[in-house]
Amino acid sequence: MAGQTASLETIESFLAQKRLAMVGISREPHSFSIALFEELCRRGYDVIPVNPHTPNVLGRRCFARLQDIQPPVAAVLLMTSPAVTDQVVADCAEAGVRMVWMYRAAGTGAVSPNAISFCNDRGMQVVPGQCPFMFLPAAGAIHRLHGFVRKITGCYPHRQCA
């Protein structure tokens, strides 16, 4: 996945969206996606869960498809496998989503080269990888350490040059 990065401006623009969908959120209460969901909600985000296999997540209605969310969201955080990501970005385009974040901490996460190309071809902003926790102010120590390691290895996003 080398060479596929997002600028800090793209990440900040995504995180400025206070209403977003999280696709692929787990039904397991102790999963990482639930922890991220809870943290975003605690910080004032209106996070709409999307998972066709559960009716609700922590008391919030869970949608089966992005296209069912009304009013539509502009930003979507993908917690899916790469194979599912390919289909979900097509759903994003159909639903009018303009910003897509493909979660990744280790391994491939939700990142799919085909999905990145699909988003780019349609003018959608895309964050191909990265963990949102690293960019949230006052995140826990493990997330700050993760960001530090990515900085020293050259994998942390940079600001765009003027």
49-91-20 Cα angle (round to 5): 35
User: Tokens at residue 4, please?
Assistant: 């596929």
pLDDT of the residue at 1: 39
In the chain, what are the domains? 8-152 (3.40.50.720)
For 30-67, how does the pLDDT look when each residue is reduced to its tens digit (9 = 90+)? 888 999 999 999 999 999 999 999 999 999 999 999 99
pLDDT of the residue at 151: 57
DSSP, res 28: S
Asked whether the beta carbons of 6 and 157 are under 8 A apart, the reply is: yes
Q: Is the pLDDT of residue 2 over 50?
A: no
Task: Give CA separation, 132 vs 12, 17, 64, 90, in Å.
Answer: 10, 13, 23, 22
Report the range out of 2-11, 71-80, 144-153 with the highest average pLDDT: 71-80
Asked whether the beta carbons of 115 and 61 are under 8 A apart, the reply is: no
For residue 99, is it left (φ>0), alpha (ψ between -120 and 50) or beta?
Answer: beta
For the segment 128-154, the average pLDDT, to the nearest whole number, is 65
The Cβ of residue 4 has, within 10 Å, a number of other Cβ atoms equal to: 15
Q: Is the pLDDT of residue 80 over 60?
A: yes
User: Tokens at residue 43, please?
Assistant: 């910080």
User: Tokens at residue 50, please?
Assistant: 């999307």
Q: Give the whole-angstrom CA distance, residue 111 versus residue 107.
A: 9
